Amino acid sequence: MNHKSILEIQISPFKDVFLAQTEKLFIEYPQTFSDEDRHHWRQNLLTFLLKKEPDTFIFTAHETQNVIGAIMFHRDNKAVEKYWEIDWLVVKKDAQKQGIGTQLVKFAFKHIKEKDGKHVYLRTSSGEYNQSTLHFYKKIGFEKLANLPDYYSFTTNRHTYVENAVFPSLRNCLNTFLHNPLLPSNFPSELHFK
């Protein structure tokens, strides 16, 4: 794919006509999305199409009818404070480094703000294959909040990132909790701050 102007890219709500193309995006990243992951995300896409997830949103980036990226995010209804999670973001390999991922995340932020969302977070792998993804999230303003060692495998941790506008308040809350003198001295914590 030649470098495309951002102006040629359309972002719109996910539709059934984009299902097959969106699924193909995951196949391009076998290290990131296992067969089990792809099955899980297909179920999410189908559930979304059936309108069974009222606080979940999926948008696609496309040129005409060719899907080149997609993002899924949802309101975290378990949280007290208006938190939203980015479930996944995927852009075709040959369309990366053209601003498409950034456009999708900015679009998601705008949508979240319109829904009165205040905080955005995501979880991702620390695996070597995922280093460009980690760099991308840092570049667009996310900061690592926590590291769960050996979460995905004995050598792959799970990182939780938050959009940096909320990072200081989240870190302060967690530090206050973890340093609470009322907690037992042997209180286990898997959170490792940088």
**Domain 1-117 superfamily per CATH:** Gcn5-related N-acetyltransferase (GNAT) (3.40.630.30)
The single-letter DSSP state of residue 40 is H
Sketch the domain layout of the chain as residue ranges.
1-117, 127-194
Q: What letters, b where the CB count within 10 A reaches 16 and e where it falls short, cover 33-59?
A: beeeebeebeebbeebeeeeeeebbbb
Q: Are 126 and 157 in contact (CB under 8 A)?
A: yes
| Cα gap 43→29, rounded to integer Å | 18
Higher pLDDT, 185 or 80: 80
Tell me what the mean pLDDT of segment 128-139 comes to. 86
Q: Are 105 and 140 in contact (CB under 8 A)?
A: yes
Kindly indicate the confidence band of residue 157, based on its pLDDT and cuts at 50, 70 and 90. low
Per-residue pLDDT of 50-96, as tens digits, reads: 887 778 999 999 988 899 999 999 998 887 778 899 999 999 989 98
Per-residue pLDDT of 109-129, as tens digits, reads: 999 999 988 889 888 887 777
